[in-house]
Amino acid sequence: MSTNLNTDWGNIGFSYRKTNANYVSLWKNGVWDEGKLVKENTLTISMGSPAIHYGQQCFEGLKAYRRKNGSIGLFRADQNAKRMQESCRRILMPEVPVEKFIEAVKMVVKANEEFIPPYGSGATLYIRPFVIGVGDNVGIKPATEYIFCIFVTPVGPYFKGGMSPIKLVVSEYDRAAPYGTGAVKVGGNYAASLLPHKHVTHEGYTDCVYLDPKTHTKIEEVGAANFFGITKDNIFVTPISPSILPSITKNSLLYITDKVFGMKVEERDVYVNNLDEFAEAGACGTAAVISPIGSLTNGKDKYIFYSETEVGPVTKKLYDHLIGIQFGEVEAPEGWMIEFK
Ligand code: PLP
Ligand code: COI
């Protein structure tokens, strides 16, 4: 089926639009039910649900791509399924089996095929799976019932302007603690980032960069994306830390730079007072794709990477290769794409 919605796909931004169908599955008495598609995009849950009071919930984000050959592509969906299992384990929720996750994603994407932006528009169908702990409760304990849902919505670039340099600033807040939940995708991390995000966007920045919560000397990640830098001698560097979200995009870029481009790669500490080691830098993630970082302000210091207006050559090459794989223009490494009609 082709897209028949009358939409200006180039300018949809990153916002929600109601679609035809959503997926819902319930976990009760130790098992997930089969799951089904529903029309409504609302849930009725107990007021005592642990998801509401104690943040017992997690989510994922991935995309469906209308590919060059007309098929639909999912990028590394198994990795999202596995990361959601990690999140569930960390906050004592039942895991969704990988096969169930992938089948559910395919089902809801297929049911909303007309919302997949056309090939060449640059837009994609964002897929948001999540698990919440529900049921009557008041004490701090895991829920007795869970709901696994997926909704989808067509999106454009997360950062306004897409592939144009963003302006970041170091936050004085932390989004996660050293032995906390930073490495899993739970809502609490994002609740913690709302106020810092409000402050920095009010000051004219695109988003903030969080430092390591223990010493506040090393870059952890951007609000909703991982950080990478390209050193002046062409090494792909990305921070390593137990409190950042292991980005599937970042892991893919580590593979592409190493195995395809033959660059040296390093996962290591990135000191915020040593940014002049980098010729280019970027933020990477499913929503962010690759967004070049034009500048990073830290207190009175402002570091300009490649340029505040132009995209650096390595960042551009990485972006082209990554979206080439996703849209079916470049051969994907074994197992990265799930394709269906
Ligand atoms: N870091 C944070 C805090 C995020 O929310 C995201 C988005 O999922 C990422 C990094 C990027 O991860 P991924 O590439 O798996 O989308
Ligand atoms: C994603 O990239 O999928 C994210 O989850 C980022 C943000 C929209 C929360």
What's phi and psi for 219, nearest 5 deg? -70, 130
Assess whether 82 carries a catalytic annotation. Answer: no
Q: Give the position, in ligand 2's atom list, of the atom nearest the Cα of 158.
A: 8
Whose CA is closest to atom 1 on ligand 1? 225
Burial class (CB in 10 A: 0-12, 13-18, 19+), 155: buried
Res 2: pLDDT: 55
Query: Which ligand is nearest the CA of 251, by number?
Result: 1
Residue 311: per-residue pLDDT: 96
Task: State pLDDT tens for residues 29-81.
Answer: 999 999 999 999 999 999 999 999 999 999 999 999 999 999 999 999 999 99
Q: Could you tell me the residue ranges of all domains in the chain?
A: 9-155, 166-326
pLDDT at residue 1, as a whole number: 54
- Nearest residue (by CA) to ligand 2, atom 8, is 287
Q: Which ligand is nearest to the CA of 126?
A: 2
The confidence score (pLDDT) of residue 68 equals 93
82, 181, 240, 286: residue to mutate for ligand 1 pocket, most atoms within 8 A of CB: 286
Which atom of ligand 1 is nearest the CA belonging to 175? 3
What class has domain 9-155? alpha beta
pTM metric for this prediction:
0.97
Q: Which of 202, 245, 253 is nearest to 222 (CA)?
A: 245
Span 166-326: which CATH code?
Answer: 3.20.10.10
**Ligand 2 atom with minimal separation from the 285 CA:** 2
Predicted local confidence at residue 3, as pLDDT: 63
> d(Cα 45, Cα 53) in Å, to the nearest integer?
12
Is any ligand 2 atom within 6 A of the Cβ of residue 61? yes
Q: Answer yes or no: same fold for 9-155 and 166-326.
A: no
Say what the pLDDT of residue 160 is: 80
Task: Please give the Cα distance from 175 to 310 (Å, whole number).
Answer: 30
- Compute, in degrees rounded to 10, the torsion defined by CA atoms 11, 286, 128, 199: -70
Residue nearest (by alpha carbon) to ligand 1 atom 2: 224
**Catalytic pick from 28, 68, 100, 185?**
185
- What's the pLDDT score for residue 10? 84
DSSP state of 271: B
Distance from C-alpha of 299 to C-alpha of 104, rounded to nearest angstrom: 46
What residue ranges of the chain have pLDDT lower than 50?
Answer: none
